[in-house]
Structure 1
Amino acid sequence: MAQTKQIETSLLTEHFRYTPLTLIDQIINMINELINRAVDAVEAGLLETPPSRLGFAARAAAENTIPDTDGEGNPLFPDARKEIEEGVHQLETLLEATVDKNFDKLEIYLLRNVLTVPEDLVPWVRLAHYQDLQLPNTSTSSSTPLPTPESVQALRRKVQETNKLHTALLAEKARNEALLTQLRGLLGGNTGMKTEPASSPQHTSDGPAPTAAQNPSLAFLASAPAAQNLGISLPTDGTAALPRHEPLRQNTAFALSQLPALRQILQNLRPKIAALGTAGGAGPESEFAQQRSEYVEKRTKRIMERRGMDVGSGEGSSEGLGRRMLPEEVKGMEAVAGLVGEKTEGGENGEQMQE
């Protein structure tokens, strides 16, 4: 019975957008507010009315008392205000008690006879916002498989793999952005290169200072006529901001159009590189070979020392070959040699005695 009443209350609450008890409470609150207004109006009217018109003068005459008067000759009744306030309070209490008693009956009547749905009609009531709603069939919902620990674990693994893939994609995005930044720096010329002051201690008089030629720029690719025909050019402020979302066909066409210029530059550089190699002679190459041979020799000596070979007696000598003998090993070998010599002498003495 309690469950049926709860279902009925939920149905009415969904229909009214508020509970039935809230409606009754609102009615009672409005009645109480009207009572308060009426009591305040009665009190204000009684206080504004002269006390003589309310019967205080007749009562004073019946009691053979002479009331005091003010400067204008009007009688004064100091107890009038107190009696009015007490009477208004009693009236307010009486009205509130009457309202509570009668509206409690109204509340019971409304909940039992008006704000109610018959028990046999509750399953058949369809509200307006459920008019075109297709409820799922019970048999279909029961045929769906319930989640198992294996299925939950599989979903958990999928979530983990998805998170790993997301992390990998974010890392790949960061690497691509770094690569694009480097390429834009190359395309933008000297805007992204670090320059050192002339008084920097890194450069000495022995070697030439680094120049812009050591950090080549690819800005000439964007200034070629083919790039202008394709609509590719650098901004006026010198930055290397490239247009986004360029089609692959346009980029490929630009790269192919720059190949002849690159070939021509390469053909012009090859004779200069050969001339630089012949003019320098064998000095740099021989110096590099000598440094490499010294490095190989040092590494070889270090490996031989690690293996126990003595390389301090001179290069090419065979006296230092072999592993170094420790003092304990030498003493042990001397003891073994002494034992072998004693056995040999004992065997010779025995043979002489037999003879």
Structure 2
Amino acid sequence: MAHAKQHENLLLTEHFTWPPISLIDDIINTVNDSLYSCNDTLETGLLSADPSFLGFTPRLDESEEQTHERARLEIEEGAQKLETLMIDAVDRNFDRLEIWTLRNVLCLPREEGFENWVRLSHYEGLKIPPKNNTLTPEALYALRRKLVETSKLHAALVTERTRNEVQIARLRALFTPPKQVPRSSTASEKDKSEAQGTAPFAFLTHAPAAQALGVQALPLPTTSTKPESRTPLTTHTTFTTSQLPHLRQLLAQLKPHLASSALPSGKSGESEERAKERRVYIESQSRRVLERRGVDTRDGVEGNVEGSRVRVEELSALEGIVGTLDTDRTEDGEAMDTS
């Protein structure tokens, strides 16, 4: 009987991909977590309330702090007792739920030997070798290794397929038209920038110029589970190359007109009056710039060296220095003559 029950548990575990008892354990753990959370919340609410609201009145021989301490101890003791009672009720009732579920829901029919006739979906098409096979331990080990490597390869291919689908979705998003943002003032700048930046290459497939060139637009993403026909992005290079001779012909026709339609140069095309006005304008602007920088422009702006204007005080100081130097030289010459 124990062997049959163990075989039944193995069969159900293989079918559900999880042990049947784990479902009951998860339910009981969830209920216990809710119980502990409710009990903690209740205890916190009682401790935060005024003891007088809960019926705790100070005695004759105790202070207010002692009353609060007595109330806290009684609340904690009561919360612990309540938690014990609730845990006992949960254990008793959910043990019944576990027994009933394993006997009536997560189980096989009561017919004896029924588990020997059950065939799971992943066993479809499995060829069972005959009993008198000559399978050696080495061949069995090789088959196991092959199965392990095949499982690894399958997992790697599934991961690569998922990664490729994500990458393709990102690339297709670059060519799909951006979402329409209302032009009202309530639309934020962030939404507008996101709408413009979601598909920077949408003009390659959905613009009128692309449609005129015959570029086929990518189909919009759909939520249906049916496989959609994906049309790759085709650029009709034959049409472009066919237009090159016509463009070259137009360029050859425009070249003779370039010399006659060029703008006149400043030396040959300007009249004398226009050149004089230009010189006057340039001189006035140059005079203004030099005056801002402190250059004396009373004698004209031609030949002036950029520098600051010398003030009267500076000029007087320089003349005084020069006079002092001349006096020293005269005195030195007289002293040499007398010697």
TM-score, normalising length: structure 2: 0.37
- Larger Rg over CA atoms: 1
TM-score, normalising length: structure 1: 0.35
User: Which protein has greater RCO, CA pairs closer than 8 Å, 6+ apart?
Assistant: 1
